[in-house]
A and B are shown apart, each in its own frame.
Chain A
Amino acid sequence: MDETDLLTRARAGDPAAERALYDAHVDRVYRLAYRLAGSDDLAQDFTQETFIRAFARLGDFRGDSSFGTWLHTIALSVSMNGLRKVKRFRTREADLDEARDRGWTARRAEPDLKQRLAAAIDALAPGFRAVFVMHDVEGYTHEEIGSALGIQPGTSKAQLSRARARLREALSDFAGEWTA
């Protein structure tokens, strides 16, 4: 059965169709939520919220894009809003300057490349981070990213390029790793 039939049945309240849609998309949604949140609890929370909202709003889905793209729009919105709320509390606690400079000035204290890379990705602005994680980490195309974030594919490319430039700057100490 194709996705259009599943959607029709799910709109009519067929639980088996809802479950089939969930099964088809949950892995990608959960993976993306986890990559963005870095925590299983938050990723589960964001994924559940995404599907609850999607099923509740299935009547609004017009089919202009694929169901997967629409679902990712919700997932990104839920994840980024959720992370903003968590960050709002955390940044008040942390030394703001230290948080901003993570991955940039704390180089000497974090000699490990993996840690430095993770810290530098965390320090990217939310929009850049989402584009970078979706493209370079999870392998989404710029078209998919553009649809999910509501931006042009060209903007997605430009943001990816700027994100990479910032990461290159943050990891300049490790230049030998990739020039070798």
Chain B
Amino acid sequence: MSDDKFDEFLQRAARSYHEPPATPREEMWTRIEHARRVSPLAARAPRRRWWLTVSALAATLLLGIAIGTRMQRAAGTTPGPGPILAAGPSSRATPSGPAGAPAGPASPGAAPVRASSPNVGGSVTFDAAAADHLGRAEALLTTFNTESAHGAIDPQIGAWAGDLLTTTRLLLDSPRARDPRTRKLLSDLEVVLAQIAQLKSQPDSRSDEFEIIEQAVRSQNMMTRLRDATPSGSAALASGS
């Protein structure tokens, strides 16, 4: 067989691969405009990304210092552990699934945040835990969007949402959750997660229920706000070349 013939054949045949419909220009432009209006953070994204990276590094450092101090104290006097504010459920709610999939020990969301942590350290650790949690929520909503477009969602998504719902509530109840923007995002997220979690008890959920949830996600620009609050690993974006 000839390579050229195959290449020609392939190019011809591949044109039907995921053939796009007409571009929904106006629909997308309306959402872009809306997202930019309600999320002024988008205009400061590069600097914010830089600060988030620094915050994550600082959180790791402070956590290390806190663990070291605690171990030193444990070797001498006995400290009283403070109540755990957040982390346990977050460590279970991995993007790859809801339950029974323990995250690795290095997962930022896996480290317990205690109320007795120093003020600054606790706040930075809270930010890191919240960013980690919001990243997981973004993964869930992306998956939900895709699945619901096909008319049926995997029952596991409901369980996954339930898991994230618990962490959302823990974060909202934390005294460190002072930033009004984060609180608003967590509150909105809680409602959406609760709706998705409800679906798990209704295996034959109808498409109008999916539509209501999708509508809520879209009207509140949930995806953009979540991405704003989540560090991304793309180096290409910062280069501007």
Contact = CB atoms under 8 A, between A and B. Distances in A.
Contacts, number: 164
B138 A37 contact: no
Nearest to B135: A85
B18 A118 contact: yes
Contacts of A77: 234, 236-237
A44 B156 contact: no
B18 A34 contact: yes
Contacts of A31: 20, 23
Contact-residue bracket for chain A: 35 or more
A85 B138 contact: yes
Interface in B1-19: 1-2, 5-11, 13-18
A31 B18 CA distance: 9
Interface in B24-76: 24-25, 27-29, 31-32, 35-36, 42-46
Given A48-B35, A73-B236, A168-B6, A121 B17 contact: yes
A37 B140 CA distance: 17
Contacts of B7: 164
Contacts of B138: 85
A57 interface: yes
Contacts of B44: 56
Nearest to B227: A49
Interface residues of B, number: 58
A12 interface: no
Interface stretch (B142-150, B170-178, B199-207): B142-150
Given A22-B29, A31-B23, A114 B16 contact: yes
A44 B224 CA distance: 13
Given A74-B236, A133-B17, A56 B42 contact: yes
A19 B17 CA distance: 30
Nearest to A78: B234
A45 B223 contact: yes
B215 interface: no
Given A51-B32, A52-B42, A93-B156, A35 B18 contact: yes
A88 to B, nearest CB: 5
Contacts of B223: 45, 49
Contact of A56 (B18, B23, B45): B45
Given A52-B224, A60-B46, A164 B10 contact: yes
A89 B97 contact: yes
B83 interface: no
Contact of B240 (A23, A30, A45, A70): A70
B10 A81 contact: no
Contact of A70 (B5, B24, B101, B241): B241
14 contacts: A26-B25, A40-B24, A42-B142, A48-B31, A56-B36, A56-B43, A57-B240, A73-B239, A74-B236, A77-B234, A81-B234, A89-B143, A93-B154, A168-B10
> Considering the complex of A and B, which 5 residue pairs feature the smallest CB-CB distances, nearest first?
A178-B9, A60-B240, A34-B20, A38-B18, A77-B234
Given A60-B238, A137-B15, 16 more contacts: A19-B29, A30-B24, A34-B20, A36-B18, A39-B149, A44-B28, A51-B28, A52-B32, A56-B43, A57-B46, A57-B240, A89-B143, A132-B14, A177-B9, A178-B10, A179-B1
Interface of A: 19, 22-23, 26-27, 30-31, 34-45, 47-49, 51-53, 55-57, 60-62, 64-65, 70, 73-74, 76-78, 81-82, 85-86, 88-90, 92-93, 113-114, 117-118, 121, 132-133, 136-137, 150, 164, 167-168, 175, 177-179
Interface of B: 1-2, 5-11, 13-18, 20-21, 23-25, 27-29, 31-32, 35-36, 42-46, 95-97, 101, 138-140, 142-143, 145-146, 149, 154, 156, 223-224, 227, 232-234, 236-241
